[in-house]
Structure 1
Amino acid sequence: MTTESNPDDIPSPELSHDKDLLPDDFDGDAREHELSSKLLLTQQALTTIANLKSDQIKPGNNQLISVKPRALLLTLLAIALTLLSLFLDISWLGVLSTVITLILSIIILFPWWQNIIKAWFSPQDRTILIASAGLLVGLVGLYKFAGLGDRLQVWASKINWDASGTLAEWFGALGQIFIAIIAVYVAWRQYVISKDLTIQQNLLTVQQNVITQQQTIDSYFQGVSDLVLDEEGLLEDWPQERAIAEGRTAAIFSSVDASGKAKILRFLSRSKLLSPLQRDRRLGRAILNGNGGYAEDRVDGVRVIDLGVMLAGADLSHNDLRWTDLSEANLVRANLQGCDLVKANLSRTILYDADLTGADLNGVRLFYGSLENASPRSRSEPPNYQTGEYTGAVVENADFTQVQRMAESARCYCCTWGGEKTRTTIPGGCEGIINRLGK
């Protein structure tokens, strides 16, 4: 006799036929417990799937209304009696059956109305609706039972309605003024919102510009490095490569802000690309100094990138230019306000009409040699880095107002070669120091 398989049963997992495994006394109970647990989980899953399918089939999120058959039967009987009383014109039966029909219908429909109210109105909306209805009913009751209506009628009978026409016109004018005020307020709010959106858009634009500029600078760094370095990472700059590197530098200076210019200058200076390097006279290659770096030659050395007039009139204000080699650069009318120029090399730099207000000049180099022999650069005379002649910066008409940590030697040099306009801006004054510039 064969038994049909129950489709609800789950086939048990195949038993292992390994002869090395010994039978367990509790093996049967464990399997039965496992099967019962799996069966329970399966039934729960099927129930959940059935509920989900029923929710997908039924429109909305309405709950089922359970009504007893007895209530439905009574309702149908009351409807039949109502119709019969209407047909036979029996008043007392019609009134009684109508009342019973209304009561039973309201009882049956009440859960459905409750679900509709919960679905369409939040608790706060229901509270406001009930409070508004209570306020309206209260005003009607106050008008009816407190004698307010009679008082209003007496007061209205005493009013001269011919003269009150002007008052109505005044109220109409006031209403128009109030509407105009509301329109002005709405326009003002729109302006404020539009202004806030514009400010946020500008901030996003500024952030995007900063990101784009940084990507441009990174690309420049990589391009210059690939241009002047060989495969082994040694400096291998030829005349044409130096010219291209200077062209790239001049182009990028015109497309970045003050912060971008400062980053580029720090990169070039710390990479020794702005310093005059000693060269092999035959091969033109930079020579190592024996201490792990490149040897400098201030007199006859060749710079990988010669700044020249790239920074003339440039804005470098409030940026970090520490240890930057700006020697022999043309900084005419440059804005260096608030710059950190600690240990910067400004020898033979043209600072004519430059603004150094509030800059930090701690340890800045303005000349080589001794203060007594130092003098600004000359177009016709070569510099003497031993004595200091013609190695100094051109500081005529430069503004040194409120500069910080200015060394005594730098102050004396600026007073000596700055001219009358520069001397009036130097902290500590220039009393007792000769104006050798004669202007």
Structure 2
Amino acid sequence: MLSAFANAFRTPDLRRKLLFVLAIIVIFRLGSQVPAPGVDARNVQNCVDNVGNEGVYGLINLFSGGALLQLTIFALGIMPYITASIILQLLVVVIPRLEALKKEGQAGQTKITQYTRYLTLALAVLQATGIVALARSKQLIQGCQEDLLHSDSTNTFLVMVVTMTAGTAVIMYMGEQITERGVGNGMSILIFCQVVATFPAAMWSVQKTQGWWIFGLVMAIGLVIVAAVIFIEQAQRRIPVQYARRMVGRKMFGGSSTYIPLKVNQAGIIPVIFASSLLYLPAMAVQFNQGSTSPWIRWINNYLVNGDHPIYMALYFGLIVFFTYFYVSITFNPQEVADNMKKYGGFIPGIRAGRPTEDYLAYVLSRITFPGAMYLGLIALIPLIALVLINANQNFPFGGTSILIMVGVALDTVKQIESQLQQRNYEGFLR
């Protein structure tokens, strides 16, 4: 990895792209530290230092690099865009018009991207309104009773909502600029930066609360987890595909061999985000009904708010497994793949084209999704298990969502850098 970056900086074109990405990251991180207008930064910092970020918005706070609880101009982070992208992906399967756009190629994808932008801004307005309302009512940071805002006026409320929404629009623009003019996927790199930003503080928190011995144990376990995640993320089942020779006019086409790569973790990190978001809903309902004596409120408070309860862990694991199968089923269509192979004269050796190919692909996909779902569930449970075993906080540095994002984005970015380096080496050889 280090050699790839070193070689990239020796190449003028790649060096410009990498420096552009670094400049965007610096602006991004600066915006994550600037408080929104009307925020009492001193009181907010006192609350964060004394209480921490183990509240309902822990996942959103992770994706904002800690900017959410600080109420900065980039407080919403990339979360509205992630939510909008997931919603659009699901709607593509449900709404025929969107499905037709997806099949139109680049022009259709451009329209879907535009719809994603509009939905992102709408979600940003809703989330900013909720967050500012919680800040006004002193419910954003659990256990904090200090005034987080200088004023409770409507003007301050509207200015903060507009500022946070505009911050989300700027983040979305910067991510697109990285994709177009830099290296790698812009949104993924920004998510990576926000997650990595909380990593040193989380590690130092473990050292301060548990001592150097537990800190060293966490580091050793973390290295093992990273190695395991890299191994699984790279693992794939390659289904061989043979294309028969065919005559078109006076030319012969086909006769080539290729394969269909089915990754073990075909769903990526989406099931973990889905499950986490769904489990935050009852906890959020409890937060808005504090003081209620309702039996279901007490039950949720006892079993679904704290991550160290076995019922919470079992439900979390079950939801991840369910959403893994669900997401894979809507993103990989065996019937469509089988029809395309038959259309272009392709077949799997030993399997007849058409329905038998579709059944075979569905069989392989269901079998390979099971270890992928177990892998995602176990990785996501690591911080919850650590909370019980070593009494670490819920933002365990080597756990769940954070480690999947860090390893996945780092691998994809290095692959893109290496591919561009190979392309330039081939060009130099040909010259």
Answer whether TM exceeds 0.5 for this pair: no
Please indicate the TM-score interval, normalised by the length of the shorter structure.
under 0.3
Higher relative helix content = 2
Higher relative strand content = 2
TM-score using structure 2 length: 0.18
- Higher relative CO (Cα under 8 Å, sequence separation at least 6) belongs to 2
- Rg comparison, structure with higher value: 1
TM-score using structure 1 length: 0.18
